[in-house]
Structure formats: structure tokens, C-alpha cells
Structure 1
């Protein structure tokens, strides 16, 4: 039987979950816009305080994990379900 994650050495964790950094991809902005539109189609705009592309993929020229991070702030009174 394998080890629990909490029992693994850092080297073992890196092998299981490598962090891959890539050159900036101009598609990141488009990926964000696509996901933003999906969110906006499912959440009433009046309930959204702010939505932003954040993290390293939002900075042109910066190497990054190819994962687009989105910060979505919603009104405290919204029924999240």
C-alpha cells in the first residue's frame, strides 16, 4: 500500500505533481474571456461584484503554469446554490 501524501518527501511529491512552467501564451487572454463568458451566463450579473484574470498567466511575457486563474467576487447576499 502507498504512502499518504503527508508522509511523502518533497522529492516524491514533485514526481507526483510536477509544476510545469511555459512561456507566455497569447491565448491565455482568450481562455480567460471564454471562461468569463461561461460564468456570466450562469450567474446573474447583478450578483457579481468583480471578475478578473489574475495570476501569472495574466501578465504578458511572464512564464507561468498554463492554468488561467479567475477571481470572482460575488455579493454576500447571493444564494450560492
Structure 2
């Protein structure tokens, strides 16, 4: 009976990892890389005529979900609008 409980526990942990932790790790990685790039654009973008993009919770979530294309779209949005 104990082996069934251990097996079920292992299956639950694997499902937890696959469904929750792996996408969350990817989201966090996208946010970190995107915010580093956005920080560079905010500090050196004036050389190319780009406006600074405010770093907020919304921009962090957009960058986390969509990755580096979101950085480009946000930069172009704040530059031209």
C-alpha cells in the first residue's frame, strides 16, 4: 500500500513540474532577459533616437509572455506614439 502512495506522489510532483513550474521558469527567464535589454535601450536608445520605455509591472508581464518581440514593439510604440 505504501508503494502506491509513493507512486501517486511522484506522479503528482511530475505533473506539478510539467504544468506549473516549467512555464513559470520560462516566463521568469523571458522577463529577466527582456528587462536587461529594455534597460540597455533606455540608457543607450537616445543615440538612435528612441524614447525610453517605463519599466512597470505591465511591461514586465508583456515581455515575459511575448519575449524579445514585445521589447521591440514597446520601444517602437513609445517612440512613435
Normalising by structure 2, what TM-score? 0.36
Higher strand share: 1
Normalising by structure 1, what TM-score? 0.36
Find the structure with the greater CA-based Rg.
Answer: 2
Higher helix share: 2
